[in-house]
Amino acid sequence: MHSELLKGVPLFEGLSDDELHALSDVALLRVFPKDRVVIMAEEEGDSLFVIHQGQVKVSIVSEDGREVILSILGEGNFFGEMSLLDGHPRSANVTTTQETELLMVRRTDFLHFIQRSPQTAIKLLSVLASRLRKTDRKIEGLALSDVTGRITQTLLQLAEEQGSPTPDGVLIKDRPTHQDLANMSGTTRETVSRILKRLENQAYIVPRGKDLLIVGSETQQGDKIE
């Protein structure tokens, strides 16, 4: 029974104990090691994945072979919903960035469940709309922003999605590698390293081991780092 795990997932907030038990009865818990491909683009998909613990990256491969990271998802997030709803092949690759525990729900079971739980269907639509808006902003940023703007927008997106507020700013735990940040920003690892060092010298960010602190109230409010 995974009802206690599902209770902490925002998508399923507000469900009754009976509804949580019904969903947990058809959910499977699987553990994936770091750097394991969970989903491959263009393959047939019939499962929704909910992240109980760990982290994954969602990416595509460009025509010239470069990896482009669309998002990084952590605990409480989910993926695989597009193929679940329309029955089409997967649209992106999903790979673990650390050991990750995932709850899996098959397509037929989930569709049957949301027919009985309209509240979950409404929340799912809300999350999908939010992700579409973020994708639109990313495309706009890649097209119109200079490299510094793209990297700072990526940091702010990570702060919004994964950051924890502190008295000193927003803390991003287990931040992506410089290469991952480059793949998210459409630039090179060397450029990311140079710009992060400049932002550090200007006291906008403070590295803390594997974590990164984005300093100041302006960042907490979502304003762009200059």
Same domain, 22 and 131: yes
Domain boundary among 121, 141, 161: 141
Domain count, the chain: 2
Same domain, 23 and 132: yes
pLDDT at 111 over 70: yes
Same domain, 136 and 150: no
Mean pLDDT, the chain, rounded, equals 84
Domain boundary among 117, 141, 165: 141
Whether the Cβ atoms of residue 53 and residue 14 lie closer than 8 Å to each other? no
Same domain, 128 and 176: no
**Which residues span the domain enclosing 74?**
3-141
Same domain, 108 and 41: yes
Is residue 226 in a domain?
Answer: no
Same domain, 105 and 174: no
Q: Which is nearest to 114 in space by CA: 9, 18, 27, 12?
A: 12
Same domain, 180 and 100: no
Confidence of residue 44 (pLDDT cuts 50, 70, 90): confident
Same domain, 76 and 169: no
> Which range (11-15, 91-95, 133-137, 182-186) has the least confidence?
133-137
Same domain, 207 and 126: no
pLDDT at 37: 96
Q: Residue 163 and residue 170: Cα distance in Å, rounded?
A: 6
Same domain, 8 and 90: yes
